[in-house]
């Protein structure tokens, strides 16, 4: 029924999280029929996203590429406490913690969690990059903000062991975020309390 190019756009949109077929179709029809260049602007913006946005060189948060370097807004912010580092699983988690305004330091995004069942071992985590970051910034305190799931707890234990050897103070965000829950969907107050109420891991 629908033109092939339109079907293709629907198929692409439908691959995004939380976008079902009906929503994808609604978006695609809107883009195809409205006349204020949204489709063109969106196309250009997506191209720029692909070519100009990169993981931050220091923390793996997302950053604009400037003069061949990607440094995110948090890493560029000089008001941040340089010796306090918060370790998270994904960029979404970093954004959720930022919304709570409870974090004065900077971040390190792991990108993945330890997951023996899925065959993700310690060698697949960026432990060397993390250790280098801790040394270079003379980090004195690390907050482990991996999610309260089986994999998140296993990762926190591994990191506590690895970083403990570097002589930094280590704490784990307090419970309050439901077990198995996603930091991304925890409300700001809960996340703020989880960070303020962090407990020492040695
Ligand atoms: Zn950064």
For residue range 94-151, what is the model confidence (pLDDT) as tens digits? 999 999 888 999 999 999 999 988 899 999 999 999 999 999 999 999 999 999 888 9
Residue 108 CA to ligand 1 center (angstroms) comes to 8
154 contacts 113 by C-beta, under 8 angstroms: yes
CA distance 80 to 58: 14
Q: Which tokens go with 123?
A: 């060698």
Q: Which residues of 180-194 are buried (b: 16+ CB within 10 A; e: fewer)?
A: ebbbbebeeebbbbb
Residue 107 CA to ligand 1 center (angstroms) comes to 7
Quote the pTM value. 0.82
Residue 3 CA to ligand 1 center (angstroms) comes to 43
Q: Which residues of 22-33 are buried (b: 16+ CB within 10 A; e: fewer)?
A: eebbebbeebee
Residue 157 CA to ligand 1 center (angstroms) comes to 24
pLDDT of residue 157: 93
Q: Which tokens go with 74?
A: 């948090």
Evaluate if residue 194 carries a pLDDT over 90.
Answer: no
Residue 41 CA to ligand 1 center (angstroms) comes to 27
CA geometry: angle at 157 spanning 128 and 188, to 5°? 95
Residue 60 CA to ligand 1 center (angstroms) comes to 6
Q: pLDDT digits over 138-185, tens only? A: 999 999 999 988 899 999 999 999 998 898 999 998 766 655 667 776
Residue 95 CA to ligand 1 center (angstroms) comes to 12
Averaged pLDDT, 80-88: 96
Per DSSP, 81 falls in state -
pLDDT of residue 83: 95
């Amino acid at each position: 029924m629908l033109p092939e190019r339109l079907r293709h756009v629907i198929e692409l949109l439908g691959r995004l999280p939380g976008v079902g077929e009906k929503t994808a179709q609604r978006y695609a029809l809107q883009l195809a029929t409205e006349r204020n260049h949204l489709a063109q602007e969106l196309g250009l913006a997506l191209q720029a996203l692909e070519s100009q946005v990169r993981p931050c060189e220091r923390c793996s948060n997302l950053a604009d590429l400037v003069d061949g370097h990607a440094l995110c807004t948090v890493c560029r912010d000089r008001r941040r406490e340089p010796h306090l580092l918060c370790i998270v699983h994904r960029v979404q988690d970093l954004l959720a913690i930022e919304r709570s305004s409870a974090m004065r330091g900077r971040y390190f995004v792991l990108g993945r969690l330890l997951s023996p069942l899925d065959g993700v071992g310690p060698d697949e985590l960026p432990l060397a990059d993390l250790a280098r970051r801790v040394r270079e910034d003379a980090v004195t305190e690390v907050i482990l903000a991996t999610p309260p799931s089986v994999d998140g707890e296993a990762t926190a234990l591994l990191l506590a062991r690895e970083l403990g050897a570097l002589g930094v103070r280590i704490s784990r965000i307090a419970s309050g975020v439901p077990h198995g829950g996603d930091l991304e969907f925890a409300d700001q107050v809960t996340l703020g309390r989880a960070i303020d109420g962090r407990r020492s891991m040695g």
